[in-house]
Structure 1
């Protein structure tokens, strides 16, 4: 990894060049850069990517991210990109830069170094408001750390390319609830009330740094009764009936884990709740967690069963809360 600040071209300009080399084909590395779908599983700071629109070789998306470091602030940003698959290059521009930045744009390019080896280079230009201050320098340093972490995450994913399909999983469960969608969403939002109500959750430490952004540390019980702790960041969108989460400290079998609760109104009475999970297995942990001889196939089955069972366990009391609310409304 190299990070080379370039001498400013003006009092308010800052340019950065950053690169990593990966033991992976250039096409594989470019594909990971171009497809934002799994960024939250590969990039440590990325929490959620919401596509906004796409038109051929152009796209827009909103990215929620947490600043590197324990307790880093959660922010959202909108990006516009142009993709050139032939040149293995992606240009980008931030639509809503935050102070002290007034503009952020740049390029990500992939080049082949040798068969099976490639380089990912980031070149970025930023315009700053006002004079360079200590606060400005901290913002530039934080942006540099985020850039290095992103490139390292993409490099690590690319170097697992031959096994990546077997390590990635996405699945969902759908349940119809004959009750109040608002009350069901309120139960899912109130994760601090789950101990004693959700069987596998024995403790929940929850802080809300601002409305809709939660940090939750949950002590959970495995199927064999052993306790483990997960830490997650939750993005709550009540008006849309959605709660998106990323586990910063996932299950010991997982390298990364994201998910979403969606509450969908039914045409008739009631609603449908969808629990969706995306995970990246930690191939090095399979035998350590599941025992000698375990392989990624058995790990996939174990994770699917475990997370499906945990989602069902949450929905039990959630259905009850929604049903009680519906009965109360009918009795008035």
Structure 2
């Protein structure tokens, strides 16, 4: 029988226990708040229970697994169990537990119980290393988000850009999926390296020029779903942000397709004046980032439109 291993990680949060539990319970926000998490999909959802697929980085690798989570709002507890694990993990389960210290302070604990493939010491070491790194990152993310309280609404924002394409969705998808060709196809992409070791999971490093002439290097992980959706998370972001996630969606409409680029950004308030100048505010940063990202995504959408419409023509 495989040896069972247990880890525990914890942190004290200067926020009410219910607020901390709310962040743990809402798995859809994790890619925005937690550095290791790339994307989360709900596979099933009912009162107090959910089945999810998670894509996340672990020791520099992109891993995916399916978990069942049971949510206990009254007990401020979420338990989870991986239904389908990825080697070197053979099995994984655990608990998020929030305990109120007082009205404005909480203790957050994260427990993991796991077995390793073939009980190999190197697999146990790999898993422990990944759990230490990811658990500390997730706990720090929850602490930061919870302690921001109402400020978070100003720092996190989303927006969409959409174009209608009188062409085939498959051609639009081909343009968006073949990001390795973007330096030839898009004027704002100076350089791009794309790796796809696992089909449908792309790791992309890109140099992008903005309207003011500056060049930003970003690194993203993209998850490709069929021919109608690509989601991504930037794991190396420009200095004004702490997080940037997004998606491309293709929907049939009016004899063609509507193609939408969505961005969700978390700003870094400490960087605003350093980057934009003395006296600039978070509102100024929102406008600046929105304009820069929207300009580039709209350019990409228009080139994808021209590509698809030329093929139909």
2:5 paired residue number: 14
Over residues 304-324 of structure 1, what are the superposed CA-to-partner deviations in whole Å (9 max), with x where a residue is unaligned? 222111111101211111011
Q: What TM-score do the two structures reach when normalised by structure 2?
A: 0.94
2:132 paired residue number: 144
1:319 paired residue number: 305
Contact 2:116 2:123 in 1 (8 A): no
Contact 2:2 2:115 in 1 (8 A): no
Q: 1:210 aligns with which of 198, 222, 247?
A: 198
**C-alpha separation between the residues in 2 aligned to 1:94 and 1:160?**
31
**How far is the alpha carbon of 1:11 from its aligned partner?**
5.6
Q: What TM-score do the two structures reach when normalised by structure 1?
A: 0.89
2:172 is the alignment partner of 1:184: yes
**How far is the alpha carbon of 1:132 from its aligned partner?**
4.1
1:307 paired residue number: 293
Contact 1:15 1:126 in 2 (8 A): yes
**How far is the alpha carbon of 1:20 from its aligned partner?**
0.9
RMSD over aligned Cα atoms = 1.7
Structure number having the greater helix percentage: 2
**How far is the alpha carbon of 1:116 from its aligned partner?**
2.3
Over residues 276-330 of structure 1, what are the superposed CA-to-partner deviations in whole Å (9 max), with x where a residue is unaligned? 1111111111111221111112222222222111111101211111011101xxx
1:258 paired residue number: 245
Q: Residues 109 and 165 (structure 1 numbering): CA distance in 2 closer, same or farther, change over 3 Å? A: same
Contact 1:205 1:218 in 2 (8 A): yes
2:34 paired residue number: 43
2:97 paired residue number: 109
Structure 1 unaligned spans of 5+: 1-9, 328-332
What are the equivalent positions in structure 2 for 1:231-250 lying under 5 Å apart?
A: 231-237=219-225, 239-250=226-237
**C-alpha separation between the residues in 2 aligned to 1:120 and 1:145?**
16
1:3 paired residue number: none
- SS where residue 255 of structure 1 aligns? strand
**C-alpha separation between the residues in 2 aligned to 1:299 and 1:312?**
19
Contact 1:20 1:119 in 2 (8 A): yes
2:62 is the alignment partner of 1:74: yes
Contact 2:169 2:227 in 1 (8 A): no
Q: Residues 131 and 53 (structure 1 numbering): CA distance in 2 closer, same or farther, change over 3 Å? A: closer
Runs of 4+ in structure 1 off by over 3 angstroms are 99-102, 127-132
- SS where residue 159 of structure 1 aligns? helix
**How far is the alpha carbon of 1:196 from its aligned partner?**
4.3
1:165 paired residue number: 153
Over residues 30-60 of structure 1, what are the superposed CA-to-partner deviations in whole Å (9 max), with x where a residue is unaligned? 1110111211111111000111222111112
Over residues 164-218 of structure 1, what are the superposed CA-to-partner deviations in whole Å (9 max), with x where a residue is unaligned? 1111112212221001211111111111222243222111122222222222221
Q: Residues 129 and 310 (structure 1 numbering): CA distance in 2 closer, same or farther, change over 3 Å? A: closer
Q: Residues 131 and 218 (structure 1 numbering): CA distance in 2 closer, same or farther, change over 3 Å? A: closer
1:5 paired residue number: none
- After TM superposition, the structure 1 stretch with the greater mean CA deviation from structure 2, 127-136 or 33-42, is 127-136
**C-alpha separation between the residues in 2 aligned to 1:205 and 1:135?**
30
Contact 2:94 2:113 in 1 (8 A): yes
**C-alpha separation between the residues in 2 aligned to 1:175 and 1:110?**
45
**C-alpha separation between the residues in 2 aligned to 1:58 and 1:211?**
30
Contact 1:25 1:115 in 2 (8 A): yes
Contact 1:12 1:129 in 2 (8 A): no
- SS where residue 183 of structure 2 aligns? coil
